[in-house]
């Protein structure tokens, strides 16, 4: 069957690979000159370094994304921990690590939490109480978790504002790209259950050791093309035409059009809606998509003239820095001549509106306070990358669609689909393979 896939982000690439594997003739239509969507890399003119549009990490429990890399033969181009180990620095440079021990599931984080110096004993007892509540969550309680914020749930479990800010927001920022006050309780608890209650190794962190394009974008395009598929860049879709209750064709930006037997939308919800006729937008599940809001992420890339970090990555507490990744070490490069750090700032708020220099001037002094070796080091280069539509806000009340739609030959993929996972590479890959399987089943029915 001839299949048109709109959007060549991870969801489109995963759908394309799965469909091509199942013998369909696919064309990926991408509005930009390059593929990858929210995940790509480019060459920094000054240094020649491969820079990501935004630092990404994944975890042991993100099995679909790991399997995708295995299928592409690139899982080895990642740095993967056996078990969780994250150095955490406070605003004054005091370090205390979080790690996962060999104790049985449920107790595996206890030794680290007991020794963790950035929280008081009272805060640790609150956290233990919240984890116990999650463990014994009753079925009847689950229903309302969709409707309330994680913050509300935490307050019900008697978590203080300090504990929410210094521990729970610390977990939701990198995983949900928002604070507890914005996330639905069900989405946040899903992450906690996947990460902390199923397998002691689940939260072991993995980070690309190479640029995202070399890791999964280019290999996926090559694999799709190797199976007879096509990647068309600068092929933005302007309109999805509907006739007799099915998609009849796509109108492209440059006045061209394309016709296929079936279609996969692998677009963000706010990108898909304007392409559809008004009467289709009013139908479920399309009408649910109005409620999705994009959320930004900002990255500050810093080149220092000497080593400043003795870790692969670290987290920061009571500081706007959040997370730092030592790209030089992750890439296995020589560190004595300097290090490149990438600071990943989720839910950046007003920082997002500042220019590059203003971002540097606000964040660098905080990094230097929290990371003493950076105080003496000279910053030889910096750049800021901003992604205004990095993720969707996992707000209470969102209804996430499945792959099938009332238009029988249109299927939905994208990290916003009902995979259970937040807006992540895991969700994008899962949604792409699910949409491909649904399309294939429909084609063979």
Ligand X SMILES: Cc1cc2nc3c(=O)[nH]c(=O)nc-3n(C[C@H](O)[C@H](O)[C@H](O)COP(=O)(O)OP(=O)(O)OC[C@H]3O[C@@H](n4cnc5c(N)ncnc54)[C@H](O)[C@@H]3O)c2cc1C
Provide the binding-site residues for ligand X, judged by CB under 6 A.
6-12, 29-32, 37-39, 54, 56-58, 236-237, 266-268, 271, 297, 299, 387, 390-391, 414-415, 423-426, 428
Nearer to ligand X, 58 or 411 (CB): 58
Which token pair is 336?
């004595």
Minimum distance from residue 345 beta carbon to ligand X (Å):
9
Q: What angle do CA 9, 351, 217 make, to 5 degrees?
A: 15
As a whole number of angstroms, the distance between CA 57 and CA 299 comes to 13
Minimum distance from residue 371 beta carbon to ligand X (Å):
21
Nearer to ligand X, 54 or 229 (CB): 54
Contact 250, 6 (CB under 8 A): yes
Nearer to ligand X, 119 or 280 (CB): 280
Minimum distance from residue 8 beta carbon to ligand X (Å):
5
Minimum distance from residue 346 beta carbon to ligand X (Å):
8
Minimum distance from residue 432 beta carbon to ligand X (Å):
7
Minimum distance from residue 208 beta carbon to ligand X (Å):
10
Nearer to ligand X, 396 or 422 (CB): 422
Side-chain half-sphere CA neighbours of 276 within 13 A:
26
Nearer to ligand X, 87 or 432 (CB): 432
Minimum distance from residue 183 beta carbon to ligand X (Å):
15
Minimum distance from residue 95 beta carbon to ligand X (Å):
23
Quick one: CA torsion of 46, 51, 53, 55, rounded to 10 degrees?
-140
Nearer to ligand X, 38 or 98 (CB): 38
Minimum distance from residue 334 beta carbon to ligand X (Å):
26
Nearer to ligand X, 66 or 271 (CB): 271
Nearer to ligand X, 148 or 273 (CB): 273
Nearer to ligand X, 10 or 223 (CB): 10
Q: Is the dihedral of CA 187, 363, 390, 292 positive or negative?
A: positive
Minimum distance from residue 390 beta carbon to ligand X (Å):
3
Nearer to ligand X, 338 or 422 (CB): 422
């Amino acid at each position: 069957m001839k299949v048109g896939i709109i959007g060549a982000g991870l969801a489109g690439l995963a759908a394309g690979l799965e469909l091509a594997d199942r013998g369909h003739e696919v064309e990926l239509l991408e509005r930009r000159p390059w593929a990858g969507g929210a995940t790509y890399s480019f060459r920094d003119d000054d240094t020649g370094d491969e820079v990501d549009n935004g630092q990404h990490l994944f975890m042991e429990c993100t099995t679909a994304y790991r399997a995708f890399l295995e299928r592409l033969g690139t899982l080895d181009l990642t740095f993967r921990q056996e078990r969780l180990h994250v150095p955490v620095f406070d605003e004054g440079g005091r370090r205390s690590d979080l790690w996962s021990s060999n104790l049985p599931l449920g107790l595996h984080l206890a030794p680290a939490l007991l020794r963790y110096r950035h929280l008081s004993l009272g805060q640790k007892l609150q956290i233990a109480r919240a984890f116990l509540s999650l463990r014994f969550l009753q079925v009847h309680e689950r229903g309302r978790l969709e409707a309330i914020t994680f913050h509300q749930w935490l307050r019900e479990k008697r978590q203080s504002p300090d504990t929410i800010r210094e521990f729970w927001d610390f977990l939701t920022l990198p995983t949900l790209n928002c604070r507890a006050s914005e996330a639905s309780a069900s989405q946040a608890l899903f992450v906690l259950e996947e990460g902390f209650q199923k397998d002691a190794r689940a939260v072991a962190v993995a980070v690309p050791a190479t640029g995202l394009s070399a890791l999964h974008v280019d290999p996926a395009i090559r694999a799709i093309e190797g199976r007879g598929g096509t990647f068309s860049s600068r092929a933005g879709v302007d309109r999805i035409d509907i006739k007799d209750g099915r998609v009849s064709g796509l109108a492209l930006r440059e006045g061209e059009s394309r016709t296929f037997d079936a279609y996969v939308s692998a677009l963000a919800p706010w990108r898909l809606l304007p392409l559809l006729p008004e009467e289709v937008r009013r139908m479920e599940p399309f009408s649910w998509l109005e409620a999705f809001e994009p959320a930004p992420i900002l990255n500050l890339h810093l080149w220092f003239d000497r080593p400043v970090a003795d870790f692969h990555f670290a987290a920061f507490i009571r500081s706007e820095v959040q997370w730092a990744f030592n790209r030089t070490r992750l890439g296995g490069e020589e560190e004595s001549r300097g290090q490149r750090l990438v600071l990943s700032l989720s839910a950046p708020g007003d920082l997002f509106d500042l220019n590059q220099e203003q971002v540097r001037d606000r964040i660098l002094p905080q990094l230097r306070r929290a990371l003493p070796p950076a105080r003496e080091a000279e910053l030889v280069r910096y750049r800021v990358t901003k992604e205004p539509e990095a993720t969707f806000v996992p707000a209470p009340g969102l209804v996430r669609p499945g792959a099938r739609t009332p238009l029988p030959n249109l299927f939905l993929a994208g990290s916003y689909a009902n995979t259970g996972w937040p807006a992540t590479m895991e969700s994008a890959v899962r949604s792409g393979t699910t949409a491909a399987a649904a399309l294939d089943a429909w084609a063979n029915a």
